[in-house]
């Protein structure tokens, strides 16, 4: 009989024992969000950035049906380079385990696993959300519903601009997910600094975010996550005109090639990376590294990265 319980990497076990802060990291970004071979290099840089900012990285994924919190170097390399890595949302986790699959976890699955592992802070690039024309396709990422029931802090650059940002913000409100800008009231659009919408709250320091975590626990009134939106400085964003052109061509290709379901996000990201001559990739990498650094500082400030 296989033991399906969550396995922990040694560095994460040690962090738990020593009471060191831990930051959860997802693996879908690595296997499906970034092109080979940059993805492996970036996965390592993300972990190093977390360490440089005072926390222990726990990259989460599935190896041979086993959920691992704190993949080791070889396991990360495997998920980055292997061809048959499944994209796992929460609903896929147990099926993939039964199939002894290798899989990369989305924001939804990573959040659920991190919460089960007592990790309070999670860094990613951009959330999934409500897709454009979702009124016809019903395509809304399970990231949103999972964040409604998982008390974790997700540091991200808003939602990907390939989505309907306004509709996603509305859904986050309905679902009771807390949303705050980091040092801003403008909600970012991932590749671009300003996604076109205000948010109600702004948090200004890792200590303020740590206070949010303490207050939510003390109040006991919310089961939802905090989406902490950390925009790129305008000088580092993807040129908005290039962004809009690329998005338009990506959306028509999507329709032409009839891409649907969980293939949509990887398809559009890869279209961006190939048709901007690597510019969007550079921006994507900067986003992830900045979010990882901030998440590490939050985990350190809260002293509750590991419960």
- Applying CB under 6 A, the residues found at the interface with ligand PSU are 26, 28-29, 32-33, 106-108, 124-126, 128, 141-143, 160, 262, 265, 269, 284
Q: Which of 101, 104, 53 is nearest to 76 (CA)?
A: 104
Which one, 191 or 212, has the nearer CB to ligand PSU?
191
Distance separating alpha carbons of residues 163 and 160, to the nearest angstrom: 6
Residue nearest to ligand PSU (CB): 33
Tell me: cis bond preceding 124? Omega within 30 of 0 counts: no
Cβ 32 to Mn ion shortest distance, Å = 12
Which one, 107 or 180, has the nearer CB to ligand PSU?
107
List beta partners, residue 58.
24
Which one, 26 or 92, has the nearer CB to ligand PSU?
26
Site string for Mn ion, 101-140 (x = CB under 5 A): --------------------------------------x-
Cβ 96 to ligand PSU shortest distance, Å = 15
155: annotated binding-site residue?
no
Which one, 20 or 250, has the nearer CB to ligand PSU?
250
Cβ 70 to Mn ion shortest distance, Å = 28
Question: b or e along 254-293 (b: 16 or more beta carbons within 10 Å of the residue's beta carbon)?
Answer: beeeebeebebbbbbbbbbbeebeebbbebbbbbbbbbbb
107 binds, among ligand PSU, Mn ion, none (CB under 5 to 8 A by kind): ligand PSU
68: annotated binding-site residue?
no
Query: How big is the chain, counted in residues?
Result: 307
Which one, 13 or 253, has the nearer CB to Mn ion?
253
- How many amino acids of this chain bind Mn ion (CB under 5 A)? 1
Cβ 185 to ligand PSU shortest distance, Å = 23
Answer for the pair 213, 302: CB distance below 8 angstroms, yes or no.
yes
Classified as helix, coil or strand, 125 is coil
Strands (E) in 124-276, as ranges, are 153-156, 178-182, 186-189, 192-198, 202-203, 226-229
Answer for the pair 80, 133: CB distance below 8 angstroms, yes or no.
no
Cβ 162 to ligand PSU shortest distance, Å = 9
Q: How far apart are the first and last CA of the chain?
A: 29
Which are the catalytic amino acids?
26, 160
Distance separating alpha carbons of residues 162 and 54, to the nearest angstrom: 33
147 binds, among Mn ion, ligand PSU, none (CB under 5 to 8 A by kind): none
Classified as helix, coil or strand, 159 is strand
Which one, 95 or 307, has the nearer CB to Mn ion?
95
Answer for the pair 124, 158: CB distance below 8 angstroms, yes or no.
no
Strands (E) in the chain, as ranges, are 7-8, 22-25, 56-63, 66-69, 86-88, 103-105, 121-123, 153-156, 178-182, 186-189, 192-198, 202-203, 226-229
Residue nearest to Mn ion (CB): 139
141: annotated binding-site residue?
yes
43 binds, among ligand PSU, Mn ion, none (CB under 5 to 8 A by kind): none
106 binds, among ligand PSU, Mn ion, none (CB under 5 to 8 A by kind): ligand PSU
276 binds, among ligand PSU, Mn ion, none (CB under 5 to 8 A by kind): none
Binding residues (CB under 5 A) for Mn ion: these are 139
**Annotated binding site for Mn(2+), which residues?**
139
């Amino acid at each position: 009989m296989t033991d399906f319980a969550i396995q922990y990497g040694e560095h994460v076990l040690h962090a738990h024992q020593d009471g060191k802060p831990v930051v959860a990291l997802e693996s879908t970004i690595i296997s499906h969000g970034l092109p080979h071979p940059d993805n492996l290099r970036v996965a390592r840089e993300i972990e190093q950035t977390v360490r440089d900012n005072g926390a222990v990285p726990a990259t989460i994924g599935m190896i041979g049906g086993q959920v691992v919190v704190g993949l080791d170097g070889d396991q990360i390399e495997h998920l980055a380079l292997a061809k048959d890595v499944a994209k796992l949302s929460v609903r896929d986790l147990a099926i993939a385990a039964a199939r002894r699959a290798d899989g990369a976890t989305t924001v939804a699955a990573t959040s659920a696993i991190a919460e089960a592992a007592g990790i309070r802070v999670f860094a990613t690039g951009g959330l999934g959300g409500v897709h454009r024309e979702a009124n016809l396709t019903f395509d809304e990422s399970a990231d949103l519903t999972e964040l409604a029931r998982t008390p974790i802090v997700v540091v991200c650059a808003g939602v990907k601009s390939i989505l309907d940002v306004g509709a996603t913000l509305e859904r986050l409100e309905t679902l009771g997910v807390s949303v705050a800008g980091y040092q801003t009231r403008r909600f970012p659009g991932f590749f671009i600094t300003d996604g076109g919408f205000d948010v109600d709250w702004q948090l200004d320091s890792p200590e303020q975010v740590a206070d949010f975590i303490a207050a939510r626990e003390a109040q006991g009134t919310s089961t939802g996550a905090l989406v902490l939106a950390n925009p790129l400085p305008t000088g580092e964003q993807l040129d908005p005109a290039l962004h809009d052109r690329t998005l338009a061509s990506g959306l028509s290709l999507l329709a032409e090639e009839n891409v649907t379901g969980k293939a949509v996000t990887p398809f559009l990201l890869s279209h961006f990376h190939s048709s901007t001559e690597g510019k969007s990739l550079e921006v994507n990498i900067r986003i992830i590294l900045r979010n990882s650094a901030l998440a590490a500082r939050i985990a350190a400030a809260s002293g509750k990265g590991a419960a």
